[in-house]
């Protein structure tokens, strides 16, 4: 069952360019290093908030990725551009 990671976070306006630039390398690192990574979408919301929607082949793949954290430069650079976490949730695609 496909697992979905939903992470809502804030980015300071002056860090938006860095976040978007880092995104390309973060996705490359995920594709190279994260088993079960299926894809991701980044949504810009009002008030300097963003929503990252990441799909995983299984909850175990998501858990393993979470344990690795920012282990590669592209991922660490993306995480560094984030000012604060609003909420992180996990679900499954129902249909």
The domain locations on the chain are 3-92
> What tokens appear for 28 in the block?
């490359």
pLDDT at position 1: 86
Find the helix or strand (DSSP H, E) in which 10 lies. Answer: strand 3-10
Average pLDDT per 10 consecutive residues for the chain, totaling 95 residues: 97 98 98 98 98 98 97 98 98 94
Class of the CATH-defined domain 3-92:
alpha beta
Q: Which residue has the tokens 């499954």?
A: 92
Q: Is 85 exposed, middle or buried (0-12, 13-18, 19+ CB in 10 A)?
A: exposed
């Amino acid at each position: 069952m496909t697992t979905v990671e939903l992470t809502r976070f804030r980015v300071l306006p002056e860090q938006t360019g860095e976040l978007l630039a880092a995104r390309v390398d973060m996705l490359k690192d995920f594709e190279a290093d994260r088993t079960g990574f299926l894809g991701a979408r980044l949504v810009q919301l009002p008030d300097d908030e963003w929503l990252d929607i990441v799909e995983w082949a299984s909850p175990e793949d998501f858990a393993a990725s979470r344990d690795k954290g920012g282990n590669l430069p592209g991922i660490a650079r993306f995480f560094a551009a984030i000012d604060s976490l609003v909420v992180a949730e996990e679900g499954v695609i129902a249909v």
